[in-house]
Each structure stands twice: as structure tokens, then as C-alpha cells.
Amino acid sequence: MTANKQIAMECAERLYDLIDGDGDWDALDAIRIIKETLLRSNAEREAKVREFVDASDAFLERYLTLVNSGDCGDWNPEEEDEVIRLRAARKALGI
């Protein structure tokens, strides 16, 4: 299930619980539920992105250390497409 579908399902379940409850609700309650669900989902997604970025940084650092040690030959890793793409992706994210 995609993240967007999960968000929609959670909103739908919470709204159903609200409507199916004691009947004492209004549109602002529904809006609050949707907003809370979206904010929590965004925070979870941001945490996953941060975890991925941290892992990518650690991998890049380890790779560059290995290559720059000279134990694997002599080349400039900064000219490799993968290193260039990762650095460009980090820059695009403002990292």
C-alpha cells in the first residue's frame, strides 16, 4: 500500500469513528482529524528521509575513504557518476 493510500485510509477510519460516535461533532473536528493525520504522516516521512540520507552519507564517506586510501587502485571517485549524482541529490535537498 502506498503512503498516500495509508494516509487516506487512516483519515477515513478516524472520520468514520468520529461520525459513528455519539453524534457530537462538526466539520472542524473532521478538519482537525485530517490535519493531524497529515502532519503525523509528514513527520514520519521526514524521519525516514533523514534516516536514508544519514545512511547514504555514511556509505559515501566509507566508499571515499576506501578509494582514497589507494588500496584499490588510483582513481578520482569524485568523477564517478554515482558520487556526482549523490552529491547533486544532497544539494537539491539543501543538505
Structural domain of residue 39, as residue ranges? 3-92
In the chain, the number of structural domains is 1
Query: What's the whole-model pTM score?
Result: 0.63
Q: In this predicted structure, what is the pLDDT of residue 12?
A: 82
37: exposed, middle or buried (Cβ count in 10 Å: 0-12, 13-18, 19+):
buried
Per-residue b/e over 55-80, b at no fewer than 16 CB within 10 Å?
Answer: eeeeebeeeeeebeeeeeeeeebeee
Q: In this predicted structure, what is the pLDDT of residue 60?
A: 93
pLDDT tens over the chain, length 95 residues: 677 788 888 878 888 887 777 767 777 888 888 888 888 888 888 899 899 999 999 999 999 999 999 898 888 999 999 999 999 998 998 87
Q: In this predicted structure, what is the pLDDT of residue 9?
A: 83
Q: In this predicted structure, what is the pLDDT of residue 94?
A: 83
